[in-house]
Amino acid sequence: MMKNIRVFLNAKEEDQIKAGFPWIFDNEIGFVKADAYDDKGQHSIVQSVLKETKAPDGSIVQVFSKSGMYLGTGVFNNTSKITVRLLTRGKIENEQFNQSFFDKKIQDALDLRLHYFSLEDSFRLVFAEADFLPGLIVEHYRTIENRTILVVQFLALACEKFRKEIINSLRSVIKPYGIYERSDASVREKEGLELSTGWIGGESNPLITISENSVLLQIDLAHGQKTGYFLDQKFNRKASASLCKGKRVLDAFSHVGAFGLHAFSSGAREVVCVDISEEASAAITVNAGLNKAGSSVRAVCADVFDYLKEAEQKGEKYDVIILDPPAFTKSAKDIKKAYGGYKEINLRAMKILSPGGILVTCSCSHFFDANTFYSMLDHASSDAHKNLQILEKRFASPDHPVLSGYSKSEYLKCVIAKIT
């Protein structure tokens, strides 16, 4: 049996941890030290390199610099390249990671959201490391029947280890009507965990309807992307909609049509929602019906790259174009390829905008950082022979806080610009 497990980093690896980064990678670890007890209770101190350590996955470990400076306490997982995910930077005994610890974490997360939202809203309740609960995502959906449904993702062993305590805390603090699990992301397999989905406890219909900025949206908790819906764009949808009255609007990469339906609700005369997914197109049609959009909102199932190219060839024009694509890169090595993709859709959108038209353009890849995004827009406008006036630089809504030192939490960029 091993107790008091300590992880010591290689020289100079502590700087980014001290700056707020919450992960310890396997190649940053010098050695692991622990108190060991044999079957007779005899005590010894053991030290080994990472690949030889017998410290069990899921152990609570303290992390130190090579010189012995305490850096934090977290959960150990030798199966993952992210070997330690920090739970706290304060010194804490293992037994203090109890129900009260997680009750406070969930309450703190809720209190932060209540500065910007009410319990009648839908919002992200827990944003993983940015809320000091590594690997845990919790969405707070409020249905039109005034029921609170939580969607949870346990994406790392660091939160899976405390599944029972976290679920108990959510039930105690939020008192939801139901909790649906969407732990079906492939990252779980890298953590040595099986995929898991379904209702936790009592079952209900996974098709729910929410109201976002007075726009009705049907959400499929079981089959919708990630946790069912992208709550991070809530305030950006409202901001873009304010520019759409009387306009012809293209909502590209539309998903369930949220940007386009916000435009309709603000008085757009025509909205075309384009997405390559047949399921998304069907969802757009359903949501258009919920909002009584009639023929004002039209769903088109097509590849956006092809649609923009064909629209240019036909001489079509739009007054407002919204681009909210999926992440074009999920690794640093693919940034150059992603740059080309982002540039192409933005360049083509600029070409089919009416003079003085509005471009709302987004990127949700944290690898494609803000400076790279803005540079891409400069190049796209130059090659399109257009003037680009940036009116707003926006980000995710405040239920997705940015943790200093953890750039992955600052992933969403949204620019509203005038094109002439």
pLDDT in tens, 318-360: 999 999 999 888 778 888 989 999 999 999 999 999 999 999 9
CA nearest neighbour of 326 among 313, 352, 345: 345
* 362 is an active site residue: no
Mean pLDDT (the chain, rounded)? 96
Mean pLDDT in residue range 25-52? 92
Domains of the chain: 2-92 (2.30.130.10), 99-208 (3.30.750.80), 230-419 (3.40.50.150)
Per cent of the chain over pLDDT 90 is 92
What is the C-alpha R_g of the chain?
24
- Please state the pTM of the whole predicted model: 0.95
pLDDT confidence of residue 202: 82
pLDDT at 139: 98
417: which 2 tokens?
Answer: 């610009």
**pLDDT tens, position by position, 104-156:** 999 999 999 999 999 999 999 999 999 999 999 999 999 999 999 999 999 99
Is the pLDDT at 20 greater than 80? The verdict is: yes
Ramachandran quadrant class, 255 (left: phi over 0; alpha: psi -120 to 50; beta: rest) = left
Q: Which of 159, 273, 364, 414 is catalytic?
A: 364
| Confidence (pLDDT) at 334 | 85
State residue 235's pLDDT score.
98
Q: What does the pLDDT look like over 220-247, one tens digit per residue?
A: 999 999 999 999 999 999 999 999 999 9
